[in-house]
Chain A
Amino acid sequence: MSIETIWVLAEVADGKPITTSLELITQARSLAGTVEAVAWGPGTADVAGTLGEHGVTTVHDVGDIGDALPGVPVASAVAAAVAAGKGPDAILFPATYDGRDIAGRLSAKLDRPVLTNVVGLSADDGGLVSQHAIFGGTQVVTARFTGEGPGIFVVRAKSFAAEPSGGAAAAVVPLAVDDTGATNTAVVVARHVEERSGPKLDEADVVVSGGRGLGEKDSYAMIEELAGLLKGAPGASRAIVDAGWVPYAYQVGQTGKTVKPTVYLACGISGATQHLVGMKNAKNIIAINKDQDAPIFTVADLGIVGDVHKVVPKLIEALKARG
């Protein structure tokens, strides 16, 4: 099976396609002759320019889905297109909340399996093969689909670089939602935005993260202060997000954000596999932890064996003194 057409789920946030979607579109250009996108929401026409710049020729627009969650309507629209013989050879999804929902629904609708946690995609023997980092990134599995039907891949953020190719605005064509029965009955009744200042966690040049070693919720304030002094973003391990110290949006790791900053400063984080997966590709890693056997030290370029409650305040003081 040769790869002629790839569809990429173009998720839109704040009026722009999300970076991970642009990364997937960029990679899809090198794998298929035709790259098209699937989008939903009231503003698809407004993102056709950016999508076109990155190589998308056509945007299949599911349209405004109102208060529905996107999983069911978007998957149903794509499944209908595939059933009508108008589907692509492969569909790439960003590993976001909605991307995973849509991919899961689509997989069951088409009776096609799904490959998730993809960190690399290449063409091989006329088909697509995907790379997956397993066991905390210590091993790389290469996999492919067998049988008929489009390949469904869910790809992690920052697996590729997003680069425009200078194309014209993509054409927008409607993609109709099929009958969804009882499945599409969940509704969003309110949306809450948790404000945060400074650079975005997944775009910051410096990320300062805190973990359970901080001991208590109040100690997280020094992580935020240190991040601020370094013009970076504060992050967190799953342990303290689960404990309710900071919102989920701060989480770095398997179930949180994947970050690739110039410097990642891990404070009081032991380095569980779940966390390492999200940050081990940082260009430089500094770890501060009092347990010299903590796994975080196996990936740290600079490891400080010490108490975060002593080292971090001194660091903050020294940075303030520099002005």
Chain B
Amino acid sequence: MNVVVCVKQIPDPAAPAALDPGTHNLVRSGKLILDDSDAYGVEMALQLADAAGGGEVTLVSMAPNGETSGLRTALAMGAAKAILVSDDSLAGSDALSTAKVLAAAIRRAEPDLVIAATESTDGYTGTTPVQVAELLGLPSVTFAKKVEVDGQTVKVERQTEAGYDEVTSPLPAVVTVTAGVVEPRYPSFKGIMAAKSKPVDTLTAADLGLDGSQVGAGGARQQIISVVEAEARSAGEVVVDEGDAHERVIQFLEQLKIL
């Protein structure tokens, strides 16, 4: 079974994030890393391919400047190869444009199953995988907390407001996984070494038959009008517990008439 995992390479979430004052795009000039949320999808794909008795896991990603450092992390975990779409014309792409790029790249890999995270850590639009499914004409099951493949059927436990639903779908399909669906492995030293020579196919938007009116800032049909500082919530009183801090909590709750 061949599985495609959509992965995003993002600025390190531990570093302060910023918007470019001119374009209002997220600044992505620094080193990019594999989005933590995507490690779950990569692990899930590796386990499913294994359970199916073979097949390849292919990564599909869109990133500026031919960035591959995040892809190497996922390749080191065990993915076989990657398709990277990198093109200056893609800067400023909205979620739908991104979905068009990813869908065109995924089509090349002809997967049995496409896995993505429910949302990225940096942009968290959370609609891209479903947009990809629609563009590919595939069914989708989102918010999976458990995924199994049985022959030509994928079985998913999908989170709901009330609990979870058991959902089945014929393959090929798009499944989005929540963090915690599986425990991602750490890349081994051998894996890291092997990842250096694994193939990364770098494509432009034009290679995929997409032009500037469909993707990037030229294809975006939403614009940011302004960015302002939010009203900051200030820190209040801080008490270091010396065995009686619970009394201060009780007092505080009394003031609020909770008690």
Interface pair A139/B253, CB less than 8 Å apart: no
Q: How many residues belonging to B are interface residues under a CB distance threshold of 8 Å?
A: 80
Asked if A184 lies at the interface with its beta carbon under 8 angstroms from chain B, I say yes
State the CA gap A220–B167 with chains docked (Å).
Answer: 30
When A101-B130, A105-B130, A302-B252 are in contact, do A114 and B125 touch as well, CB less than 8 Å? yes
- Which chain B residues border A244 with CB–CB below 8 Å? 180
Q: Which segment, of B55-63, B74-82, B187-195, B228-236, faces chain A?
A: B228-236
When A104-B127, A299-B235 are in contact, do A185 and B169 touch as well, CB less than 8 Å? yes
Of all chain B residues, the one with the shortest Cβ separation from A232 is B258
Interface pair B130/A315, CB less than 8 Å apart: no
Of all chain A residues, the one with the shortest Cβ separation from B130 is A104
Q: Which segment, of B42-50, B94-102, B203-211, faces chain A?
A: B94-102
A269 to chain B, nearest CB (A): 15
Interface pair A262/B178, CB less than 8 Å apart: no
Of all chain A residues, the one with the shortest Cβ separation from B136 is A183
Pick from B161, B236, B246: contact of A318, CB below 8 A: B246
Asked if A197 lies at the interface with its beta carbon under 8 angstroms from chain B, I say no
B106 to chain A, nearest CB (A): 14
Chain A contact patch, size range:
35 or more
Q: Which segment, of B1-9, B83-91, B237-245, faces chain A?
A: B237-245
Interface pair B134/A315, CB less than 8 Å apart: no
State the CA gap A280–B224 with chains docked (Å).
Answer: 24
When A144-B222, A147-B221, A230-B258 are in contact, do A100 and B126 touch as well, CB less than 8 Å? yes
Of all chain B residues, the one with the shortest Cβ separation from A317 is B246
Interface pair B139/A72, CB less than 8 Å apart: yes
0/1 string, A133-176, CB within 8 A of B gives 1: 11101111111111100000010000000000000000000000
State the CA gap A255–B37 with chains docked (Å).
Answer: 12
Pick from B138, B222, B225, B227: contact of A182, CB below 8 A: B138
Pick from A138, A186, A302: contact of B169, CB below 8 A: A186
- Which chain A residues border B224 with CB–CB below 8 Å? 141-143
Asked if B197 lies at the interface with its beta carbon under 8 angstroms from chain A, I say no
Pick from A97, A114, A241: contact of B127, CB below 8 A: A114
Interface pair A100/B130, CB less than 8 Å apart: yes
Interface pair B225/A303, CB less than 8 Å apart: no
Asked if B28 lies at the interface with its beta carbon under 8 angstroms from chain A, I say no
Looking at A103, A104, A306, A307, the one whose CB has the most chain B CB atoms below 10 A away is A104
- Which chain B residues border A254 with CB–CB below 8 Å? 124
Interface pair A135/B179, CB less than 8 Å apart: no
Asked if B170 lies at the interface with its beta carbon under 8 angstroms from chain A, I say yes
Asked if A286 lies at the interface with its beta carbon under 8 angstroms from chain B, I say yes
- Which chain B residues border A107 with CB–CB below 8 Å? 95-96, 127, 131
B224 to chain A, nearest CB (A): 5
Asked if A297 lies at the interface with its beta carbon under 8 angstroms from chain B, I say yes
Interface pair B225/A144, CB less than 8 Å apart: yes
State the CA gap A284–B236 with chains docked (Å).
Answer: 10
Q: Which segment, of A22-30, A48-56, A188-196, faces chain B?
A: A188-196
Interface pair A249/B227, CB less than 8 Å apart: no
Asked if A86 lies at the interface with its beta carbon under 8 angstroms from chain B, I say no
Of all chain B residues, the one with the shortest Cβ separation from A97 is B143
Interface pair B96/A184, CB less than 8 Å apart: no
What would 14 A/B residue contacts be, using CB atoms closer than 8 Å?
Answer: A97-B161, A100-B126, A116-B127, A144-B222, A183-B137, A183-B140, A189-B167, A192-B163, A193-B163, A194-B164, A248-B145, A303-B235, A304-B241, A310-B241
Binding site for B on A (CB under 8 A): 13, 69, 71-72, 75, 96-97, 100-101, 103-105, 107-109, 111-117, 129, 133-135, 137-147, 154, 181-194, 205-206, 230, 238, 241-244, 247-249, 254-255, 262-263, 265, 273-274, 280, 284, 286, 288, 292, 297-307, 310-312, 314-315, 318-319, 322
